Amino acid sequence: MLYLSTRGHPERKRFCEILLEGLAPDGGLYLPEAYPQVDGETLARWRRVLADEGYAALAFEVLSLYIDDIPADDLRALCRKTYTAEVFGTKEIVPLKRLEEGVYLEALSNGPTLAFKDMAMQLLGNLFEYELGRRGEQLNILGATSGDTGSAAEYAMRGKQGVRVFMLSPHGRMSPFQQAQMFSLQDANIHNIAVEGVFDDCQDIVKAVSNDLAFKRQYKIGTVNSINWARLLAQVVYYFAGYFQATTSNDQTVSFCVPSGNFGNVCAGHVARQMGLPIDRLIVATNENDVLDEFFRTGTYRVRGSADTYETSSPSMDISKASNFERFVFDLLGRDAGRTRALFGEQLAREGRFDLGSEPVFAEASARYGFVSGKSTHADRLMTIKDTWERFGTMIDTHTADGVKVARERRRAGEVVVVLETALPIKFADTIREALDREPDRPARFVGIEDLPKRVQVMAPDVAAVQRYIADHCRD
């Protein structure tokens, strides 16, 4: 299996070469040269694998189609070590729960940080440790977070050999629960840096450090952001697991509704569908930041400025552009890399938008690739959380509520829609109180975490100071 860049760079790479990288050298995103096809016989076998041997065994089956530079026994061991009931809360790992007729929730957020990002990040932690160990190398992961991604990265990398994490967050701006989650980690390889500024200041520092190529090389700086192919690949597995749980035979179809921000999660659904999983439709749910809904309705992809990017009560979907979207557009354009480069590398940089609405190919987004979309607002979120609680006794978080709202709106008679549950309500307690006038449920292992000792360095928004801090802490 070889990987190419969506912008046409001639080089082809293997999985472990792109594992530790972000963008391709030409600024494109990595994709496999072709999606491996899963025939009826294989699907039937995988259904039995999930039932008899569990999620880790299914993960091995899917991943081994894309990873041929890790010996099979090692890859199987990495999957087993990652997807355990101990880490993900249940033997099923991603159990399915029925709401009303034709609407299911697939639980993806019972990992260490209570958001679906753990599903991929926990595997990434084990893959990184394995590959760095094999190479005898080290990696210093530098990132900026306003919540979910940073904590998922830290819980995935804590205690791992060869890896350190330097995570910048805006001082005093995360919720007390999120701060406690990150800052209570006492592992020597995890470094929390609270920057006196806003999230954009943190991101600017990360960019400045990454653009200092000499520093980047000397201190082996890397990232784990959402465009990483291994993260996306890990997410493909739970589409198969959700499908098998929602059906009894492989001639049935299922649709998925996905609360979306950077288009990573739903892009994994697109990959599963391209492999031959019988997915009917992929329903993209956005919040008030409706970049993606606008595209699937009109064909116009319009990146937002910071003034048009709203702070909402489903904050992990507050995006101004969808960083994985280029992967889907590349497929939509018949894998025309020149065209993809012209749109994403040139027109978007110049004009902040492109429009495929008048091109025949745009109709294929829904007709051939199954995409539809919808949007949810704060008022929708409150109503959906309340209704789901009152009718089913199920408490859902704000992001999942966006998914449930759009699923109900878009569902056709007879259609089975699986909504991906992307976080637990405890992470967004303020909105739960507003919707239900009660405290969200708190899993036992999080009782009292706000009172634990905190390990965090507060710093001015100063690139040189952050670089000094990294240099000083790369020796231990």
Active site residues: 117
Torsion of CA 444, 449, 452, 453, to 10 degrees: 140
Phi-psi region for residue 8, left (φ > 0), alpha (ψ -120 to 50) or beta?
Answer: left
The smaller minimum CB distance to ligand PLP, of residues 231 and 408, is found at 231
Buried b (16+ CB within 10 A) or exposed e, 272-281: bbbbbbbbbb
Q: CA–CA separation, 463 vs 260, rounded Å?
A: 32
Q: Are strands 300-302 and 353-355 parallel, antiparallel or unpaired?
A: antiparallel
The smaller minimum CB distance to ligand PLP, of residues 171 and 327, is found at 327
Q: Which residues in 311-330 contact ligand PLP (CB under 6 A)? A: 316-317
- 146 is a site residue for ligand PLP (CB under 6 A): no
Q: Cα dihedral sign for 192, 196, 201, 206?
A: negative
The smaller minimum CB distance to ligand PLP, of residues 250 and 287, is found at 287
- 259 is a site residue for ligand PLP (CB under 6 A): yes
- 408 is a site residue for ligand PLP (CB under 6 A): no
**In the complex, what is the shortest distance from the CB of residue 425 to ligand PLP, in angstroms, rounded to a whole number?**
11
Q: CA–CA separation, 327 vs 231, rounded Å?
A: 14
Q: CA–CA separation, 341 vs 83, rounded Å?
A: 37
- 148 is a site residue for ligand PLP (CB under 6 A): yes
Q: Helix or strand or coil: residue 288?
A: coil
Instruction: Pick the binder of ligand PLP from 375, 399, 408, 411 (CB under 6 A).
Output: 399
Number of residues that bind ligand PLP (CB under 6 A): 16
- 125 is a site residue for ligand PLP (CB under 6 A): no
Q: Helix or strand or coil: residue 476?
A: coil
Helical pair 72-82 and 55-64, crossing angle rounded to 10 deg: 140
CB-based contacts of 248, cutoff 8 Å, min separation 6: none
- 265 is a site residue for ligand PLP (CB under 6 A): yes
The smaller minimum CB distance to ligand PLP, of residues 131 and 397, is found at 397
Q: What mask of x and - would describe binding to ligand PLP in positions 93 to 122, judged by CB under 6 A?
A: ----------------------x-x-----
Integer-rounded Cα Rg, in Å, for the chain is 21
**In the complex, what is the shortest distance from the CB of residue 435 to ligand PLP, in angstroms, rounded to a whole number?**
16
Instruction: Pick the binder of ligand PLP from 122, 250, 260, 431 (CB under 6 A).
Output: 260
- 384 is a site residue for ligand PLP (CB under 6 A): no
**In the complex, what is the shortest distance from the CB of residue 216 to ligand PLP, in angstroms, rounded to a whole number?**
25
- 226 is a site residue for ligand PLP (CB under 6 A): yes
**In the complex, what is the shortest distance from the CB of residue 270 to ligand PLP, in angstroms, rounded to a whole number?**
12
The smaller minimum CB distance to ligand PLP, of residues 332 and 466, is found at 332
Instruction: Pick the binder of ligand PLP from 264, 269, 370, 461 (CB under 6 A).
Output: 264
Instruction: Pick the binder of ligand PLP from 143, 170, 261, 461 (CB under 6 A).
Output: 261
Q: Cα dihedral sign for 154, 185, 401, 288?
A: negative
Q: CA–CA separation, 198 vs 121, rounded Å?
A: 25
- 395 is a site residue for ligand PLP (CB under 6 A): no
Residue 403 neighbours by CB distance under 10 Å: 31
Among the candidate windows 39-47, 93-101, 241-249, 257-265, which touches ligand PLP by CB under 6 A?
257-265
Torsion of CA 116, 121, 122, 127, to 10 degrees: 150
Q: What is the DSSP letter of 425?
A: G
- 423 is a site residue for ligand PLP (CB under 6 A): yes
Q: CA–CA separation, 171 vs 169, rounded Å?
A: 6
Among the candidate windows 33-41, 255-263, 270-278, 327-335, which touches ligand PLP by CB under 6 A?
255-263
- Residues forming contacts to ligand PLP in the complex (CB under 6 A) are 115, 117, 148, 226, 259-265, 316-317, 399, 422-423
